[in-house]
Every structure is written in structure tokens, then in C-alpha cells.
Chains A and B, each alone.
Chain A
Amino acid sequence: NAGVTQTPKFQVLKTGQSMTLQCAQDMNHNSMYWYRQDPGMGLRLIYYSASEGTTDKGEVPNGYNVSRLNKREFSLRLESAAPSQTSVYFCASSRQGSEQPQHFGDGTRLSIL
């Protein structure tokens, strides 16, 4: 019953360093998402992939890139980390269809000094 697995769980970076956050789901879902959550705030969508082979920008895509490696895996890359990107990052997946709920991982806590 793994569901959505995110790695790493914690990471500290220096400004300017690069980093890739990994996400994998074992529910055979078509759609996958990356969100960020700043302290005391709601989730904001960074990028999403409606199906394998497609990716689209969400609400806050600047400073990030994504790769839908295959149906199971969806990675998020920070090319040049900035302190403003300090946040908790959540990956989610869902079946395709407007009525399908999202299933979330437990997050990656990223601090950029």
C-alpha cells in the first residue's frame, strides 16, 4: 500500500544549487501533480501531467522544471535554488477524469539557505 512515494523527505540546499525531487505512484494513475505549500498557507500547483507524455504549467511554475519519466514517475527540478523556494513540496496522482480525487505523498521539506 505504498501509494505516492516522495524522495527525499528532507533536504537542505545552498542558494544556486540544483536539486531533483522524485515522485512515484503505484496506483496506475494517469495524472500527476506537483504542489508547494508555504507555512500556514494552502497548496499551490506548480506543474501537472494529465497523462504520460504531457506536462503543463500550474499557478506557480517559475523556477521549476518537470519530467514525466513514465506513467509511474514525475520529477520536479530546481535548476538554481533560491531562498524563496523554501517550502514543503507535495506530489499527487489521480485517475483521469474531473471527478477523480487526488492521492498525495507525505511531502519533501526543502530548505534553501
Chain B
Amino acid sequence: LAKTTQPISMDSYEGQEVNITCSHNNIATNDYITWYQQFPSQGPRFIIQGYKTKVTNEVASLFIPADRKSSTLSLPRVSLSDTAVYYCLVGDMRTNAGKSTFGDGTTLTVKP
């Protein structure tokens, strides 16, 4: 079971870069690492996904070290609207969907 561990909460200020780290010591060979964002009263929304090294899209970057036992979501220049809960999900949804868990997430609060 690819259990994940994230900080419960983080605070930041507008314009800063925010890095949220997720530990997943039991990651399996076929597992991908996926990050989701959730606003109150909404379902989670996909942010970024990776398998190894670095992935970048228009909203975030994902850094994965060679051993893949952790990953870091990087949000550049956050704004107030980035205040949300961020979840790291590790697993192979094709073969082990029942064994992939979200964990409790990291509540990011961006202050003016």
C-alpha cells in the first residue's frame, strides 16, 4: 500500500513560491505520483502528474528524486486563489486502484 505523508498545513504570502513535499516510501515500480487541488465544497482537481525527474506545466512543477520515495509540488508566485487543500496520490490506478489512497492533504493558506 503506497501510503503518503504530507504536512498538515502551510502558510505563505502572495507572490512567493510554495513547495509541498509528499513522502511515499513504499512506492512501487509502476506507481505514478499525482497531485490534486481541492477548494471547499468542490471535488478535487488534477494539477500535475509525474513518474520520475521533473515535470512542469502551466500551473506547477513536480520534482521527483531518483529513489522516488518523495516528491515536491512547487507552486510559483502563489495568489490568494491558491488557498486550498493539496493532495498527493501515489498508485497504479490500473492495477491497484483499491490500494491507492489520498491521505489527509496539506492545507495551504495564502495571505495578502
Contacts and interface: CB of A to CB of B under 8 A. Distances in A.
Interface of A: 4, 31, 33, 35, 40-45, 48, 50, 56-59, 90, 92, 94, 96-107
Contacts of A33: 97
Interface of B: 30-32, 34, 36, 41-46, 49, 51, 87, 91-95, 97-98, 100-105
A56 B41 CA distance: 27
Contacts of B95: 98
Contacts of A103: 46
Contacts of B43: 4, 90, 92, 104-107
A58 B98 contact: yes
Given A43-B102, A48-B98, A92-B43, 4 more contacts: A41-B104, A98-B91, A101-B34, A104-B45
Shortest 7 CB-CB contacts between residues of A and residues of B: A104-B43, A101-B46, A98-B92, A42-B102, A43-B102, A98-B94, A42-B104
A106 B97 contact: no
Contacts of B34: 101
B101 A44 contact: yes
Contact of A106 (B32, B42, B93, B104): B42
Given A43-B102, A44-B102, A98-B32, A107 B42 contact: yes
A56 B95 CA distance: 11
A108 B66 CA distance: 40
A100 B91 CA distance: 11
Given A98-B31, A107-B43, A31 B105 contact: no
